[in-house]
């Protein structure tokens, strides 16, 4: 355990009365003339009434046209997106703030949120805070079918997560736009599980772009979209759509106490994070060897997934892929983004051969990629740190660390801790600053990469670590497994 190192009509049914017949009266010439004038006026009025009735009857096509006009672009946008929007419910245990008064440290609360289907096999993008600590994630699709989802992966820093449901047929996915060409003032639409009212639709405009919003000491949203579309508790994780019905953001937060101020994570950011969360290396421990990036080339041509580099002796290198290639399809999956590529690689059989089409120097080139799970990737540093230590880390400015303790040259801030991981078992928590492990300082992520790859680290079990918490330096001993695979 860690020790101190000194340091929410009447129809009034007109009864018709029959009158008694009266004897006929003889009219004078003047009276007869008056009667004729009256009759003429009645005839004119009658003809006008008839014309009015005809005009109303003749206006029915205009009413039909008005009915078509009701199917506005917003209506069409919602109709297209709704099948890919799910409602999320669950119960979680939270620590009470008045535990000393009540004697109860924890209580059960109902949670709700929204999700977006990004893969026809049931992979759903949502906010991490929607599913965090939820023991049973319940998902309702647009056809009112209920599912129990499992948490696949999450990223605390961006507050995004991937969950998965199973179905007997492919799920409809959302149409994806881009957040690279958004304009303040353009119309946007939010769909979500607002206060538990399923598939609530609201609309508004983009109020501003590139906002930074701090919601707590541990959570800051950067470069987000500000909108005045009605976003309420339960909307989190749901789509923000443009007028064409394309996903341009993931709704994430509202400004408490304000009206018409809400925020969404730009879709380009969200889907790049989703690609990491759905990486075949992360989920299936299979290395394809492609290091790529999504490049937005304009609204006419869309996005492209460009190969930046290749890992040596990888299956991608064996297939003949080269840096600079634009991957346009893998198997039957069209590729425009990193997420598309990772989706195309998931669930493949050992030895399966995939047709890969790339654009190279203006020419289309056909390649064949053979899946080989035995050639496992070493994974990224973030993945290894998560698997081995149970930590997600980011560099903390050296001056901030030294303002607490001049003894240290810098440190790495703990942004997430894996439940039941080695770090969690030793009491490390979010917000701590890792300043050293064993005999090495941890000033940069490269330091951690060196430590995790060191034979001395592998043998030195348990490993001593040092963290800053507030103004104190704490230490403990962590036992890790270099073969951990989560």
Among 92-101, 250-259, 434-443, the least confident range:
92-101
| Structural contact between residues 358 and 334, judged by C-beta atoms closer than 8 angstroms | no
Q: Would you state the pLDDT for residue 14?
A: 37
**Tens digits of per-residue pLDDT, 162-201?**
999 999 999 999 999 999 999 999 999 999 999 999 999 9
Per-residue pLDDT band for 236 (boundaries 50, 70, 90) equals very high
CA distance 213 to 210: 10
Average pLDDT over all residues of the chain:
82
* CB count in 10 Å sphere of residue 410: 19
Per-residue pLDDT band for 486 (boundaries 50, 70, 90) equals very low
Contacts of 461 (CB under 8 A, 6+ apart): 479, 480
Residues 365 and 311 in one domain: yes
Q: Would you state the pLDDT for residue 48?
A: 38
Q: ω into residue 462 within 30 of 0, thus cis?
A: yes
DSSP code, position 217: S
CA distance 269 to 276: 11
The answer on pLDDT for 226 being more than 70 is yes
Closest CA to 267 of 282, 279, 251, 255: 251
**Tens digits of per-residue pLDDT, 246-270?**
999 999 977 777 789 999 999 999 9
Percent pLDDT > 70 in the chain is 80
Residues 258 and 308 in one domain: no
Residue 217 designated active-site: no
Average pLDDT rounded to a whole number, residues 315-337: 95
Domain assignment of residue 32, yes or no = no
Identify the residue with better confidence: 268 or 419.
268
Q: Would you state the pLDDT for residue 319?
A: 95
Domain assignment of residue 407, yes or no = yes
> Which one is catalytic: 128, 147, 155, 159?
159
Q: Which domain holds residue 106?
A: 80-164
Q: Would you state the pLDDT for residue 468?
A: 93
Cα 211 to Cα 20, 105, 258: the distances in Å are: 86, 36, 16
Average pLDDT rounded to a whole number, residues 68-86: 94
* Single residue among 237, 269, 301 that ends a domain in this structure: 269
Closest CA to 359 of 334, 328, 338, 382: 328
Q: Would you state the pLDDT for residue 154?
A: 86
3-state SS track over 143-156: CCCEEEEEEEEEEC
Per-residue pLDDT band for 380 (boundaries 50, 70, 90) equals low
> Which one is catalytic: 179, 203, 236, 314?
236
Average pLDDT rounded to a whole number, residues 375-388: 69
The answer on pLDDT for 36 being more than 70 is no
Identify the residue with better confidence: 381 or 143.
143
Q: Is the pTM of this model over 0.85?
A: no
Among 70-84, 193-207, 222-236, 367-381, the least confident range:
367-381
Q: Would you state the pLDDT for residue 482?
A: 57
Average pLDDT rounded to a whole number, residues 82-105: 76
> Which one is catalytic: 129, 147, 199, 288?
129
Per-residue pLDDT band for 398 (boundaries 50, 70, 90) equals confident
Residue 119 designated active-site: no
Residues 203 and 259 in one domain: yes
Per-residue pLDDT band for 156 (boundaries 50, 70, 90) equals confident
Domain assignment of residue 25, yes or no = no
**Tens digits of per-residue pLDDT, 287-314?**
898 989 999 887 565 789 999 888 878 8
Domain assignment of residue 40, yes or no = no
Average pLDDT rounded to a whole number, residues 440-444: 90
The answer on pLDDT for 219 being more than 90 is no
Q: Would you state the pLDDT for residue 273?
A: 92
Residues 143 and 198 in one domain: no
Residues 294 and 339 in one domain: yes
Q: Would you state the pLDDT for residue 66?
A: 54
Residues 329 and 387 in one domain: no
Domain assignment of residue 179, yes or no = no
CATH number for the domain including 226?
A: 2.40.10.10
**Tens digits of per-residue pLDDT, 119-151?**
999 999 999 999 988 989 999 999 999 999 999
Identify the residue with better confidence: 190 or 453.
190
Domain assignment of residue 449, yes or no = yes
Q: Would you state the pLDDT for residue 60?
A: 45
Identify the residue with better confidence: 139 or 283.
139
The answer on pLDDT for 346 being more than 50 is yes
| Structural contact between residues 195 and 232, judged by C-beta atoms closer than 8 angstroms | yes
Q: How many domains does the chain have?
A: 4
Domain assignment of residue 4, yes or no = no
Residues 388 and 351 in one domain: no
Residue with tokens 């770090």: 423
Residue 223 designated active-site: no
Residues 306 and 233 in one domain: no
Write the DSSP assignment of 342-394 as a string of letters: HHHHTTPPTT-EEEEEEEETTEEEEEEEE--TTS-----HHHHIIIII-EEEE
The answer on pLDDT for 377 being more than 60 is no
């Amino acid at each position: 355990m860690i020790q101190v190192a000194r340091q929410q009509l009447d129809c009034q049914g007109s009864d018709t009365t029959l009158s008694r017949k009266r004897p006929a009266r003889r009219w004078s010439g003047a009276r007869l003339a008056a009667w004729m004038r009256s009759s003429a006026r009645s005839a004119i009025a009658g003809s006008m009434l008839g014309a009015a009735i005809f005009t109303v009857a003749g206006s029915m096509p205009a009413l039909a046209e008005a009915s078509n006009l009701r199917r506005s672009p917003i209506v069409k946008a919602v109709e297209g997106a709704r099948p890919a929007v799910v409602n999320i419910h669950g119960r979680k245990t939270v620590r009470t703030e008045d535990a000393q008064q009540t004697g109860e440290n924890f209580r059960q609360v109902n949670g709700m949120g929204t999700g977006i289907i990004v893969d026809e096999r049931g992979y759903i993008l949502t906010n991490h805070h929607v599913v965090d600590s939820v023991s049973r994630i319940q998902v309702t699709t647009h056809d009112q079918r209920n599912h129990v989802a499992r948490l696949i992966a999450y990223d605390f820093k961006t507050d995004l997560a991937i969950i998965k449901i199973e179905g007997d047929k492919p799920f409809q996915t959302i149409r994806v736009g881009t957040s690279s060409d958004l304009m303040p003032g353009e119309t946007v639409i939010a769909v979500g599980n607002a206060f538990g009212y399923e598939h609530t639709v609201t609309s508004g405009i983009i109020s501003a772009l590139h906002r930074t919003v701090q919601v707590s000491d541990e959570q800051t949203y950067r470069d987000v979209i500000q909108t005045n579309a009605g976003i309420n508790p339960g909307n989190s994780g749901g789509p923000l759509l443009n007028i064409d019905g394309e996903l341009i953001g993931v709704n994430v937060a509202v400004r408490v106490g304000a009206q018409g101020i809400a925020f969404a994570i730009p879709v380009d950011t969200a889907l790049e994070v989703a690609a990491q969360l759905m990486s075949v290396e992360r989920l299936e421990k299979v290395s394809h060897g492609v290091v790529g990036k999504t490049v937005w080339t304009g609204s006419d041509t869309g996005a492209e997934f460009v190969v930046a580099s290749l890992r040596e002796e990888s299956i991608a290198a064996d297939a003949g892929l080269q840096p600079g290639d634009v991957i346009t399809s893998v198997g039957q999956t069209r590729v425009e983004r990193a997420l598309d590529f990772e989706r195309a690689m998931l669930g493949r059989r050992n030895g399966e051969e995939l047709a890969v089409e790339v654009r190279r120097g203006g020419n289309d080139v056909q390649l064949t990629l053979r899946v080989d799970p035995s050639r496992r990737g070493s994974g990224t540093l973030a993945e290894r740190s998560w698997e081995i230590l149970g930590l997600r880390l980011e560099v903390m400015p050296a001056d901030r660390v030294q303002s607490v303790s001049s003894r240290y040259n810098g440190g790495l801030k703990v942004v997430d801790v894996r439940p039941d991981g080695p770090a969690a078992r030793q009491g490390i928590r979010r917000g701590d600053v890792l300043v050293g492990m064993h005999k090495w300082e941890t000033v940069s992520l490269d330091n951690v990469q060196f430590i995790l790859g060191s034979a001395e680290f592998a043998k030195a079990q348990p490993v001593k670590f040092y963290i800053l918490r507030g103004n104190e330096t704490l230490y403990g001993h962590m036992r890790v497994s270099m073969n951990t695979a989560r």
